[in-house]
A and B are shown apart, each in its own frame.
Chain A
Amino acid sequence: MPLGAVIEFTNITKKFGQVTAVNDLSFTVEPGRVTGFLGPNGAGKTTTLRMLLGLVAPTSGTATFGGLRYRDLARPLNTVGAALEAANFHPGRTAAHHLGVYTTAAGIPRTRVAEVLHTVGLAEHATQRVGGYSLGMRQRLGLAYSLLGDPGVLVLDEPINGLDPEGIKWIRGFLSSMAAEGRTVLVSSHLLSEVQQSVDDVIIIAKGELVHSGPLSSLDTDIAPQVIVDSPDRDALVTALTEAGLAFTSGRTGLIVAVPDPGQVGHIAFAAGVELNVLHRQKAGLEDSFLALVEGGDSL
């Protein structure tokens, strides 16, 4: 059983000329869990992952696997499996030959090629030229590459992009099972909804900076809390809230008051003698929390 290593980013920064793509990012990714690496397009996810994999040189800071930089790993493909964009193929090469090139380079038994193609569901397309592959098939082939060395760490950049619904369902189960085996799974996405069913932890960045990290449930909190309140006499309630100086908007199921505490709203209504038929706190959805965190970033 390959053991997952801890991924550690320490004050990592990347500047492309004047553009600061990643700014002083520090976080760790634990084995045995699926960690979602989230942020809007252009937030710096790909750049961060490429620095982790030694493909992009950081301007400053480090990124390591169990304390070792990627290029210092004795057997990189057997330690870390990575899938970046969907386009890293020569279109004239078959899938099996494509993978065969890298098993040769890494000293991995050739038998792994058929195994990983089977795992990702490409077995019957093994001898087809990659140029004829659909986007979803390319994603699967990228994933197959990452699995060649049966690595303890998986680093996947937007692996769900371009997959069909069946593929999305499959990869969610796959990621969870990899983590359950004790591997470290770091998977990026610009959409929380894409990964929220399979991630345990989230790292959220916007404009190259860390804005949130913690278990998924930590998003399900009071970041944008609201109280929903309604009365048979809504005009009286509006007057009471206005007099109390609370901001609110009209919603489908009542008035949405921008305070966290239902008791406060209840008290105001009680003091004004307004009968209530709805009073509860509404937690913002995960997606709302996510959007609130990254707001100010580029559009999703």
Chain B
Amino acid sequence: MNLILRPVAAEFSKILTTRMWWILALVLFGYIALIACGLAALFGGLDSGAISPDAVNSGGGTAGLTGLGSIPPLIYSFAASVGYVFPVLLGALATTGEFRHQTLTPTFLATPKRGRVLGAKTVALIVMGAALGVVALAASVGIGALVLGGFGIDPLLADGETWGLIGRTVLAMAVWAVIGVGLGVLVPSQVASIVIVLAFTQFIEPLLRFASTFTQITADIGKFLPGAASDALVGESFFTLASPGGAVLTSWQGGLVLLAYGLLATAAGYFISWKRDVT
């Protein structure tokens, strides 16, 4: 038992004794809070008539949304649909940092069974990813509900579905951290890893998802993209709303697809970099 718990505890201690985790948590909170606050104020203003729909150059879609009760979950879902890049970064930094700072040497000296170390890191990052999920939700739900309430809109906090969304968001953020670990062992170069995370999440995948909606066949493939799978898991997102009628996975399918990405990447990375000579 100790042989499993000790490496996990050591991985937690590695994360918590450097500054990266709280820097990411802080930026994540600020970023999501800003979005949630802005959107809640926008929709609240539209709903209460403080902002006339004509003043917002967003066509009929937005106006159609107001008053539908789908606004609170939409705002809350930004925790995962925008925030997911943070657990990926934390996971990727946790693995690539070991290569970059050559801490694999003391790590493997203390725990020579390397698979155990990678497993422990995955477990620790699942928990850290979930914690980042809580931070993101504190911003999207905490701030979002406050602002919505200020405009007299029911933030739906008594609604079971809202709490389901919150739980699935935490789950999604935890799995995204596993994907980060997997990416880190697949691409041990820290700079390359970070560039891939940012380019893929901020640019390539959104474009692919958008382009895939043009035909039925591509849409059937596009729904398996990690971001799409994540949105399916969370069950609510700006993207799903923006492409009505688009193919989506069910929530649990999305979760499994996302987890498969993380575990496959980690397993492949184990053979590609983790098992290699440490020179």
- Chain A contacts to B: CB under 8 angstroms: 46-47, 50, 53-57, 70-71, 73, 76-77, 82, 84-85, 87-94, 97-98, 100-102, 104-107, 145
Q: Interface code B1-30, partner A: CB below 8 Å = 1, 0 otherwise?
A: 010001101100110011110000000000
Question: What A residues does B7 contact at CB under 8 A?
Answer: 105
A113 CB, nearest partner CB in chain B, Å: 12
The 3 closest A-B pairs by CB, nearest first: A105-B10, A97-B17, A71-B112
B279, CB-defined interface residue at 8 Å: yes
Residue of A54, A71, A105 with most partner-chain B CB within 10 A: A105
Contacts of A55 in B (CB 8 A): 105, 108-109, 277-279
Q: Tell me which residues across on chain A come within 8 A of B97, comparing CB atoms.
A: 90
Pick from A76, A89, A106, A107: contact of B103, CB under 8 Å:
A89
- CB pair A56 B9 closer than 8 Å: no
Given contacts A76-B110, A93-B17, A100-B17, 13 further A-B contacts (CB under 8 A): A54-B108, A55-B279, A56-B279, A76-B109, A88-B102, A88-B105, A90-B14, A90-B18, A91-B101, A104-B6, A104-B9, A105-B6, A105-B111
Query: Is there contact, CB below 8 Å, between A100 and B13?
Result: yes
Collect the chain A residues with CB atoms within 8 Å of residue B102's CB.
85, 87-88
What 1/0 flags go to B108-135 for Cβ under 8 Å of A? 1111110000000000000000000000
Q: Are A90 and B277 in contact (CB under 8 A)?
A: no
Contact residues in B for A105 (Cβ distance below 8 Å): 6-7, 9-10, 107, 110-111
Q: When A50-B278, A107-B2 are in contact, do A90 and B13 touch as well, CB less than 8 Å?
A: no
A192 to chain B, nearest CB (A): 25
By beta carbon, the residue of chain A nearest B9 is: A104
Closest Cβ neighbor of B113 among chain A residues: A71
6 contacts between A and B (CB under 8 A): A76-B109, A84-B105, A85-B105, A94-B17, A102-B106, A104-B13
Within 8 Å CB of B2, what residues of A? Answer: 107
Query: Residues of B at under 8 Å CB distance from A?
Result: 2, 6-7, 9-10, 13-14, 17-20, 97, 101-103, 105-113, 277-279
CB of A145 within 8 A of CB of B106, answer: yes
In the complex the two chains form, what is the Cα distance from A87 to B102 in whole Å?
7
Q: Smallest distance from the beta carbon of B269 to chain A beta carbons, Å?
A: 18
For residue A129, give the distance in angstroms from its CB to the closest CB of chain B.
9
Measured CB to CB, the closest approach of chain B to A226, in angstroms, equals: 41
Q: How far is the CA of A92 from the CA of B108 in the complex (A)?
A: 20
Cα(A57)–Cα(B110), bound, Å = 17
Specify which of B13, B17, B110, B279 is in contact with A106 (CB 8 Å cutoff).
Answer: B110
User: Of residues B102, B110, B277, which shows the largest number of chain A Cβ atoms within 10 Å of its Cβ?
Assistant: B110
A46 to B277, CA, bound (A): 12
Residue of B nearest to A72 (CB): B112
Are B112 and A54 neighbours in the complex by a CB distance under 8 Å? yes
Q: How far is the CB of B219 from chain A (nearest CB, A)?
A: 44
Report the separation of the CA atoms of residues A4 and B88 in the bound assembly, to the nearest whole angstrom. Answer: 45
Residue from A55, A70, A76, A97 with most neighbouring chain B CB atoms (10 Å) = A55
Compute how far the CA of A98 lies from the CA of B111 in the bound complex, rounded to whole angstroms. Answer: 15
CB of A120 to closest CB in B, whole Å: 15
Q: CB-CB < 8 A to A53: which residues of B? A: 109
Contacting B19 at CB < 8 Å: which of A57, A87, A92?
Answer: A92
Q: Determine if B18 and A92 form an interchain contact, defined as CB atoms under 8 angstroms apart.
A: yes
Taking A50-B277, A94-B17, A101-B10 as contacts, is the C-beta distance between A88 and B101 under 8 angstroms? yes
Give Cα A87–Cα B279 distance, bound, in whole angstroms: 12
Closest Cβ of chain A: how far from B45's Cβ, in Å?
44
Query: CA of A167 to CA of B207 in the docked complex: distance in angstroms?
Result: 59
B19 CB contacts on chain A under 8 angstroms? 92
In the complex, the answer to whether B112 meets A76 with C-beta atoms within 8 Å is yes
Query: Are A107 and B112 in touch, CB under 8 angstroms?
Result: no
Taking CB atoms, residues of chain A closer than 8 Å to B111 are 105-106
Minimum Cβ distance to chain A for residue B21 (Å): 11
Shortest Cβ distance from residue B169 to the other chain A in the assembled complex, whole angstroms? 29
Cβ contacts under 8 Å, A92 to chain B: 18-20
- Complex Cα distance A174/B97, Å? 33
Instruction: Report whether A70 and B277 are in contact in the complex, using a CB–CB cutoff of 8 Å.
Output: no
Contact pick for A82, options B6, B14, B18, B109, CB 8 Å? B109
Is B112 touching A47 in the complex (CB atoms < 8 A)?
Answer: no
Chain B residue nearest to A77 (CB atoms) is B110
Interface pair B109/A93, CB less than 8 Å apart: no
Chain A residues, Cβ within 8 Å of B17: 93-94, 97-98, 100-101
CA distance A101 to B277 in the complex (A): 22
Set of chain A residues within 8 Å of B279, measured between Cβ atoms = 46-47, 50, 55-56
Contact B110 A93 (CB under 8 A): no
